A and B are shown apart, each in its own frame.
Chain A
Amino acid sequence: MQPSDKNKLKVYTRRATLLSGGMMLLSAALIGRMYYLQVTNRSQYELLAENNRISMRLLAPKRGEIIDRYGRPLATSITDYRVNVIPEETESLQKTLNTLSQYIPISPRENNRIVKAAKRQRSFLPINVAHNLDWKTFSKINVNMPELPGIQPDIGTTRHYPQKELTAHIVGYVGSVSKEELNGDPLLELPEFKIGKNGIEKVFDEKLRGSAGNSKVEVNVLGRVIRELSRQDSISGDTSRLTIDIDLQKFVANRVRDESAGIVVMDVHTGEILSIASTPSFDPNDFNNGISQKKWDILRGDIRKPLLNKAVSGQYSPGSTFKMIVALAALEAGVITADDEKNCNSEFKIGKRIAHCWNKNGHGNINVVQALAQSCDVFFYDLALDVGIDKIHSMAAKFGMGSRFNVGIMSEARGINPNNDWKIGNQGSRWQGGDTINVGIGQGFVSTTALQLAVMCSRLVNGGRAVKPKIFFNDEESTKIFEDIGISPENLRIVVQGMDDVYNNPRGTAFPYRSIGKDYKIGGKTGTTQVTGISMAERKAGVIKNDEKEWIERDHAIFVGFGPVVAPKYAISVLVEHGGGGSTTASPIARDILEYMLDQEINKKNKVGLGNLV
């Protein structure tokens, strides 16, 4: 070995030692870093790893049912047979769709939608192909699964309203959550989640909704679910039991036929609303998955306003049905007694104005009972002036006019129970005597809803108790006795006598439409309100008969009724838009409905009696 090579070794050894030292330092840095990550900061990274891996999936709760008083479904969640396709499990998406089209029709537009969706989203996510399939088709697809790669039959739920148009205005409908409705509740952000949009569905929404469950799942980096780690099942929404009797509701709708009407039937003691109908109606099932523009336009364009709930949202002049209030106000104030008479010669002068009675021949000398039975206008013009608007106003208020009951049906209208303050506030002028005359026969500024009229009638015949209408069934509350509104029983009796005579006195306005051949009597009060004013010229030329007018110009027909006259149980209000006369159109409807109710009552009692005998 040459000497220089020896030196080389020496230099090399020194340098190699230095290098080794450097390598050791670097390695120490690696170990230090490992310790820092895996020991010092371990918990922090463990948390991050768990966040990566675990995803919470909300489980939508089953929406509660809405049932009638006897438990029959009004809104229910039904099984929806659907077919989805998972693109990554198909050999070719188009091929699978082609095969599937042997079982269900797939339009080119649908096909296009599915193909587009497949391009847009992760290939393991399902795309809905069809829903609302019948069981036969659904099972056919299930049987043929082997030739349908990627097809995934799926069973979901859809809201269903078995009574369709019958309960649309009561129950309402559900719809997808809008942006404005998002409130941070993650449940609302589920893509298929529906919330109440109208009616009981909306008012009772929180309770019907139930509470969400959740499923902790492990996901991979693409969000694919690998397995479920834990699950907390959702809690179904509460069932909402209504006071509605769906049989009665059906009867009412059939009886009204094509009229545009609002009808309320209630128990005069408990306030339970047995039927609340508004016709024409719409099918709430159309709204579940978003109504088509065409259907919506038809509903919106209909002059008979199918979307409006005429029983609670429509506000109408009560007409002559308001005369009971005026009469009671006068009797209570001592302005009149049962025997006091007034003369009607068909005309009533106030200043320069002449107000007319509906009866061109006049009623002659009549007392308050007769005036109610025959609906004499002149009697009530005079009586209203005698009593004054303030007493009429406070009496009307006692019977529920001008206020909401908040029963739980959407858009309950308040109506107008006018007085001087109201007129100054709303019309900017003082109350005039002429205003009082108009209110005396339920026209002018006063306006009410069918619901308010039914409540008024109930309070008149239940012994003067402040019964409140309700739509949610509650057994414990059904025996609750409402407070007395403080009217003398004798005065109530006088007014009720008048209502009895409307049907049952030969001179009563609804005598031709009375109940015949029954063990019971029914009572009520007719009302007809003008939609358009009658000009002097028209009056001279002779009033045009309703039948000859355009539908939209015809008078509204109104009726409030109750039965039986002895120990009243049910009250009804019937409001037929542009129906013509209260006696001719509304009172027969009220009679038939009351008879249906009372006959059923008797049948029920008989059945119970027979049962006891056996």
Chain B
Amino acid sequence: MPIASRAGDHKQKSVRQKLYDLNWFIVFIIICIACIGFAMLYSVAGGSVDPWAKNQFARFLIGLTAMVIIALIDVRVWMFLAYPFYIFALSMLVIVDVMGVMGKGSQRWLDLGFMNLQPSELMKIALVMALARYFHCLSDDDTLKIKNLIKPIILIILPVVLVYRQPDLGTTLLIVMGGITILFAAGVRLWLFVASAVALIPATIGFWQFLKPYQKQRVLTFLDPEKDPLGTGYHIIQSKIALGSGGIYGKGFIQGTQSQLNFLPEKHTDFIFTVIAEELGLIGGLSLLLLYFILLGYAMIVSVSVKSQFGRLLVLGMVTTFFFYMFINIAMVMGLVPVVGVPLPLVSYGGSAMLTLLVGFGFIFSAAIHKETYIPRGGSFA
């Protein structure tokens, strides 16, 4: 329909049309990845849908529904909601922070009765939306002005401080990297990144002082896991043993000795990739990576075809978040980066991260379906 695809004709798109435009192949890939997750959760439970696979399936259905609904909603609605959503997520972070101060130790989630909500997960999405909206509203020239960088940096720093206080180093890093990626994609001058990188070296040394002892230990252990094989290095060593012993073809489904005999830590959550690699081998691991690459590739292609800067940055923010989840998790279990609590996207057991990622894909689909939608610089419905 050439007329419908013309700029300005977006309003005419019916729900049916939108459903038609939704890339069902990519939805299928997402379902495939989730199914690998269910299978592995079934395996690590020793061949049982309890206690993980069943729950995970239910959460996935909820997340998938949310994804499709988000995909069908006009991208301008999301732009309109960007700042309110950011403020909402930020206040939630403040609430858990206050609760953490009043309660004992670290507090990362709010008990909503029917589910535990991690505000830091909300923030990953909210920050991407807020930054996308901010840069959408800047002209090319304004984007290059350094003074216009103050606001987005504040947008990034506020949640970073709050999440770091939880303390959740993994999520903090994901938020920082997500924010910086958007600044980069929005066209902020390159030399600023180079200068920041140089400035980062003394900053890192300063930052080290603020790390909690267990966080320092994690980094040190990462650098030399064999030094403390029964302490913190144990997880990394056992994980590498599981991966390596899986070989090319793996030990077979539910046959992984490392996972089935509990030598692996957190095998249903952060270390689930190890179970895949042990039981299904290099073939299994690469197959999963291939599925991830299809999703990432699709999203990158969508992002350059989207007409609005908001849409582009929204897609890019979501896709990089997804990529960082995947990269950090797999690199961590293979001993390439320190152990930080980052789940394997759509596979690890857990509701919040799965919801975040599916919602993120909802936005990617929304931007894809509404890629022709023109949004003036001044605002979503202006």
Contacts A13-B304, A23-B296 given: A34-B285 contact, CB under 8 Å? yes
- Which 6 residue pairs of A and B lie closest in terms of their CB atoms, listed nearest first? A45-B244, A49-B245, A11-B187, A220-B261, A221-B262, A4-B140
Chain A residues positioned under 8 Å from B143 (CB to CB): 8
> Is the pair B244, A42 in contact by a Cβ cutoff of 8 Å?
yes
Residue B108 interfacial (CB < 8 Å): no
Residue B197 interfacial (CB < 8 Å): no
> Is the pair B187, A12 in contact by a Cβ cutoff of 8 Å?
yes
Residue A38 interfacial (CB < 8 Å): yes
Q: How far is the CA of A85 from the CA of B242 in the complex (A)?
A: 35
Q: How far is the CA of A348 from the CA of B377 in the complex (A)?
A: 144
> Is the pair A38, B281 in contact by a Cβ cutoff of 8 Å?
yes
Residue B374 interfacial (CB < 8 Å): yes
Q: How far is the CA of A335 from the CA of B320 in the complex (A)?
A: 120
Contacts A7-B140, A26-B327 given: A218-B244 contact, CB under 8 Å? no
B139 — nearest CB in chain A belongs to which residue? A4
Chain B residues positioned under 8 Å from A20 (CB to CB): 300
CB-contact partner of A23 in B184, B241, B285, B323, under 8 A: B323
> Is the pair A38, B241 in contact by a Cβ cutoff of 8 Å?
no
CB-contact partner of A1 in B282, B307, B334, under 8 A: B307
Q: How far is the CA of A4 from the CA of B136 in the complex (A)?
A: 11
Interface centre among A38, A41, A50 (most CB of B within 10 A): A38
Q: What are 28 A-B pairs with beta-carbon distances under 8 A? A: A4-B139, A7-B140, A8-B140, A12-B186, A12-B313, A15-B186, A18-B184, A19-B320, A26-B323, A27-B293, A31-B286, A33-B336, A34-B286, A37-B244, A37-B334, A38-B248, A39-B282, A44-B244, A45-B241, A48-B244, A49-B242, A49-B244, A49-B245, A49-B257, A49-B258, A50-B245, A52-B257, A221-B263
A40 — nearest CB in chain B belongs to which residue? B244
Q: How far is the CA of A15 from the CA of B190 in the complex (A)?
A: 10
Residue A481 interfacial (CB < 8 Å): no
Residue B220 interfacial (CB < 8 Å): no
A46 — nearest CB in chain B belongs to which residue? B245
Residue B19 interfacial (CB < 8 Å): no
Main secondary structure, interface of B, reads: helix
Residue A53 interfacial (CB < 8 Å): yes
Residue A5 interfacial (CB < 8 Å): yes
> Is the pair B261, A34 in contact by a Cβ cutoff of 8 Å?
no
Residue A226 interfacial (CB < 8 Å): yes
Residue A612 interfacial (CB < 8 Å): no
Q: How far is the CA of A45 from the CA of B256 in the complex (A)?
A: 13
> Is the pair A53, B281 in contact by a Cβ cutoff of 8 Å?
no
CB-contact partner of A38 in B185, B285, B327, under 8 A: B285
The contact size tier of chain B is 35 or more
Q: Which residues of A are in contact with B by a Cβ distance under 8 Å? A: 1-2, 4-5, 7-9, 11-13, 15-16, 18-20, 23, 26-27, 29-31, 33-35, 37-39, 41-42, 44-46, 48-50, 52-53, 218-222, 226
Residue B96 interfacial (CB < 8 Å): no
Residue B368 interfacial (CB < 8 Å): no
> Is the pair A38, B184 in contact by a Cβ cutoff of 8 Å?
no
Q: Which residues of B are in contact with A by a Cβ distance under 8 Å? A: 7, 139-141, 143, 181, 184-187, 238, 240-248, 257-258, 261-263, 277, 281-282, 285-286, 289, 293, 296, 300, 303-304, 307, 309, 312-313, 316, 320, 323, 327, 330-331, 334, 336, 374, 377
Contacts A52-B261, A53-B261, A220-B261 given: A5-B244 contact, CB under 8 Å? no
Chain B residues positioned under 8 Å from A38 (CB to CB): 243-244, 246-248, 277, 281-282, 285
Chain B residues positioned under 8 Å from A8 (CB to CB): 140, 143, 187, 309
> Is the pair A27, B289 in contact by a Cβ cutoff of 8 Å?
yes
> Is the pair A30, B330 in contact by a Cβ cutoff of 8 Å?
yes
Q: How far is the CA of A31 from the CA of B283 in the complex (A)?
A: 11
Q: How far is the CA of A226 from the CA of B242 in the complex (A)?
A: 18
Chain A residues positioned under 8 Å from B244 (CB to CB): 37-38, 41-42, 44-46, 48-49
Chain B residues positioned under 8 Å from A9 (CB to CB): 304, 309, 312
Q: How far is the CA of A29 from the CA of B326 in the complex (A)?
A: 13
Q: How far is the CA of A218 from the CA of B307 in the complex (A)?
A: 60
A48 — nearest CB in chain B belongs to which residue? B241
Interface centre among A2, A30, A49 (most CB of B within 10 A): A49
> Is the pair B262, A15 in contact by a Cβ cutoff of 8 Å?
no
> Is the pair A19, B185 in contact by a Cβ cutoff of 8 Å?
yes
Q: How far is the CA of A29 from the CA of B140 in the complex (A)?
A: 35
Q: How far is the CA of A219 from the CA of B377 in the complex (A)?
A: 65
Chain A residues positioned under 8 Å from B374 (CB to CB): 1
Chain A residues positioned under 8 Å from B304 (CB to CB): 9, 12-13, 16
Number of residue pairs A-B, CB distance < 8 angstroms: 140
> Is the pair B187, A45 in contact by a Cβ cutoff of 8 Å?
no
Q: How far is the CA of A41 from the CA of B323 in the complex (A)?
A: 27
Chain B residues positioned under 8 Å from A45 (CB to CB): 240-245
CB-contact partner of B303 in A2, A16, A42, A220, under 8 A: A16
Chain B residues positioned under 8 Å from A26 (CB to CB): 323, 327, 331
> Is the pair A2, B241 in contact by a Cβ cutoff of 8 Å?
no
A390 vs chain B, min Cβ distance (A)? 73
> Is the pair A19, B316 in contact by a Cβ cutoff of 8 Å?
yes
Chain B residues positioned under 8 Å from A19 (CB to CB): 181, 184-185, 300, 316, 320
Q: How far is the CA of A49 from the CA of B259 in the complex (A)?
A: 10
Chain B residues positioned under 8 Å from A4 (CB to CB): 139-141
Chain B residues positioned under 8 Å from A16 (CB to CB): 185, 300, 303-304, 312, 316
Q: How far is the CA of A399 from the CA of B240 in the complex (A)?
A: 75
> Is the pair B327, A30 in contact by a Cβ cutoff of 8 Å?
yes
CB-contact partner of B245 in A5, A30, A48, under 8 A: A48
Contacts A8-B309, A39-B248 given: A33-B331 contact, CB under 8 Å? yes
Q: How far is the CA of A487 from the CA of B327 in the complex (A)?
A: 100
Chain B residues positioned under 8 Å from A220 (CB to CB): 261-263
> Is the pair B309, A221 in contact by a Cβ cutoff of 8 Å?
no
Interface centre among B240, B257, B303 (most CB of A within 10 A): B257
Chain A residues positioned under 8 Å from B246 (CB to CB): 38
> Is the pair B261, A219 in contact by a Cβ cutoff of 8 Å?
yes
> Is the pair B240, A37 in contact by a Cβ cutoff of 8 Å?
yes
CB-contact partner of B289 in A7, A30, A39, A53, under 8 A: A30
> Is the pair B334, A30 in contact by a Cβ cutoff of 8 Å?
yes
Chain B residues positioned under 8 Å from A1 (CB to CB): 7, 307, 374
Q: How far is the CA of A49 from the CA of B274 in the complex (A)?
A: 13
Q: How far is the CA of A104 from the CA of B301 in the complex (A)?
A: 78
B230 vs chain A, min Cβ distance (A)? 12
Q: How far is the CA of A10 from the CA of B240 in the complex (A)?
A: 43
B3 vs chain A, min Cβ distance (A)? 18
Chain A residues positioned under 8 Å from B334 (CB to CB): 30, 33-34, 37
Q: How far is the CA of A34 from the CA of B278 in the complex (A)?
A: 11
- Known A-B contacts: A4-B139, A12-B312. Give 20 more (CB < 8 A): A2-B377, A8-B140, A16-B300, A19-B185, A27-B293, A30-B327, A30-B334, A31-B286, A38-B243, A38-B246, A38-B248, A38-B277, A38-B281, A39-B282, A48-B244, A48-B245, A49-B245, A53-B257, A220-B262, A221-B263
Chain B residues positioned under 8 Å from A11 (CB to CB): 140, 187
Q: How far is the CA of A49 from the CA of B258 in the complex (A)?
A: 7
B264 vs chain A, min Cβ distance (A)? 9
Q: How far is the CA of A551 from the CA of B131 in the complex (A)?
A: 109
Q: How far is the CA of A19 from the CA of B312 in the complex (A)?
A: 13
> Is the pair B320, A12 in contact by a Cβ cutoff of 8 Å?
no
B10 vs chain A, min Cβ distance (A)? 14
> Is the pair A37, B243 in contact by a Cβ cutoff of 8 Å?
yes
> Is the pair A5, B309 in contact by a Cβ cutoff of 8 Å?
yes
Chain A residues positioned under 8 Å from B241 (CB to CB): 45, 48-49, 52
Chain B residues positioned under 8 Å from A222 (CB to CB): 262
Chain A residues positioned under 8 Å from B247 (CB to CB): 38-39, 42, 46
Chain A residues positioned under 8 Å from B141 (CB to CB): 4
> Is the pair A12, B309 in contact by a Cβ cutoff of 8 Å?
yes
A252 vs chain B, min Cβ distance (A)? 61
B300 vs chain A, min Cβ distance (A)? 5
A13 — nearest CB in chain B belongs to which residue? B304
Chain A residues positioned under 8 Å from B336 (CB to CB): 29-30, 33
A225 vs chain B, min Cβ distance (A)? 11
B211 vs chain A, min Cβ distance (A)? 24
